[in-house]
Amino acid sequence: MQRLLVLAAGLLGAAGVALLAAAAHAGGDNLGTAAAFMLAHAPALLAIGLAGRGRTVAAAACVMLAGVALFAGDLVMRDLLGERLFPMAAPTGGTLAILGWVGVGVSALLPGRSPA
């Protein structure tokens, strides 16, 4: 799981930079927002992938990643294709990202191995 999280962090970081460039050249507020969302979460996933221990923090990171994919994916589709991913995709993704962050925090309170 840790390798997958590091891979996801790298891909999110690369996609975030590419979207920022696209937003700068082609415009599109949604592209800039999606890029910022990706770039804000990539370091967290990288840290969890490199240092995270335990199932709870790994599960929380997966929820966070799913949320980022839904939120950013919906915004990118709106700008590039003029269509939504599906109804309520962005709010669902945002909620999942929030729940992922809560899960990361809660993992520190659970008994067992240290989350970092």
Q: Which domain holds residue 91?
A: 2-107
What pTM, to 2 d.p., does this model score?
0.86
Number of domains within the chain: 1
In a domain, residue 52? The reply is: yes
Domain annotation covers residue 113: no
In a domain, 54, yes or no: yes
* Per-residue pLDDT tens over the stretch 28-60: 789 999 999 999 999 999 998 998 778 889 999
- Reported as a single tens digit per residue, the pLDDT across 57-83 is 999 999 999 999 999 999 999 998 999
Radius of gyration of the chain, Cα coordinates, nearest whole angstrom: 15
In a domain, 116, yes or no: no
User: Is residue 115 in some structural domain?
Assistant: no
- Helix, strand, coil percent content, the chain, rounded in steps of 5: 80, 0, 20
Q: Which residues contact 52 (CB under 8 A, 6 or more apart)?
A: 2, 5, 58, 61, 115, 116
